[in-house]
């Protein structure tokens, strides 16, 4: 009895010990809107088909875990996938048989940053591997906003120059009118003298 329990413990530790899930890279660095390939490797067994393969990949952040990829008995389960990754994850079916899980994540977002854990469950063992992904914000993002903002103060300045010009023209016109009025209407001497001169010159004949 004791012998059989010991044998069972040795066998299970042996089986679970032989099945490993590795990561090719422990940490990845990428920029927003770019794409990345995360890769895991796991022990293969030539005697079992890929139909017995179950993979569950999750992203762990401060907020909540979200499902990145789910393979059930060799078939992908898109319904399990979190909407955060909908339409952005592709996997290499060909290399899976070689014990390589390659996940291509496109159009990266800053919220994709976190710990990625893939759990591989087979009929001959189970294990998991983790890697870290850091997505940085695109550096050139605020640039396109500036040229659209710039023309506004310029056009505003043009409007003010136009107003100032119109005001100056109006002031000049008023001053000219006042000057002409003073010259001919409000100067009694000028009008009287010229009139008097005209009269006297008329009567002299």
Ligand X SMILES: *[C@@H]1O[C@H](CO)[C@@H](O)[C@H](O)[C@H]1NC(C)=O
Q: Which residues bind ligand X (CB under 6 A)?
A: 20, 22, 41-43, 99
Q: Render 10-35 in DSSP notation, one character per residue.
A: HHHHHHHHH--EEES-SEEEEETT--
What is the rounded distance in angstroms from the CA atom of residue 21 to the CA atom of residue 39?
10
Q: Which is nearer to ligand X, 22 or 80 (CB)?
A: 22
What is the rounded distance in angstroms from the CA atom of residue 131 to the CA atom of residue 30?
13
Q: Render 58-80 in DSSP notation, one character per residue.
A: EEE-SS-EEEEEEEETTEE-GGG
CB of 40 to ligand X, least distance (A): 8
DSSP label of 84: G
Strand 114-122 to 65-72 pairing: unpaired
CB of 151 to ligand X, least distance (A): 58
CB of 136 to ligand X, least distance (A): 29
Q: Which is nearer to ligand X, 74 or 99 (CB)?
A: 99
What is the C-alpha end-to-end distance of the chain, expressed in Å?
A: 162
Q: Which is nearer to ligand X, 67 or 120 (CB)?
A: 120
Q: Which is nearer to ligand X, 40 or 85 (CB)?
A: 40
Longest dimension (CA), the chain: 162
CB of 44 to ligand X, least distance (A): 7
How far is CA 106 from its chain centroid?
13
CB of 4 to ligand X, least distance (A): 31
Q: Which is nearer to ligand X, 88 or 132 (CB)?
A: 132
């Amino acid at each position: 009895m004791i012998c059989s329990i010991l044998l069972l413990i040795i066998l299970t530790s042996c089986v679970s010990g032989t099945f490993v899930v590795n990561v090719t890279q422990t940490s990845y660095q990428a920029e927003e809107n770019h794409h990345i390939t995360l890769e895991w490797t796991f022990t293969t067994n030539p005697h079992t088909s890929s139909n017995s393969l179950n993979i569950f990949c999750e992203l762990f952040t401060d907020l909540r875990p979200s499902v990145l990829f789910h393979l059930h008995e060799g078939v992908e389960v898109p319904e399990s996938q979190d909407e955060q990754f909908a339409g952005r994850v592709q996997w290499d079916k060909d290399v899976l048989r070689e014990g390589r899980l390659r996940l291509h994540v496109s159009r990266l977002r800053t919220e994709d940053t976190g710990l990625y854990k893939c759990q591989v469950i087979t009929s001959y063992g189970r294990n998991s591997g983790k890697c870290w992904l850091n997505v940085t914000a695109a550096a050139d993002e605020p640039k396109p906003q500036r040229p659209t903002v710039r023309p506004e103060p310029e056009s505003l300045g043009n409007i003010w120059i136009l107003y100032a010009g119109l005001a100056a023209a109006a002031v000049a016109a008023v001053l000219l009118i006042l000057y002409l009025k003073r010259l001919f209407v409000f100067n009694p001497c000028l009008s009287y003298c010229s009139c008097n001169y005209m009269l006297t010159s008329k009567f002299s004949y």
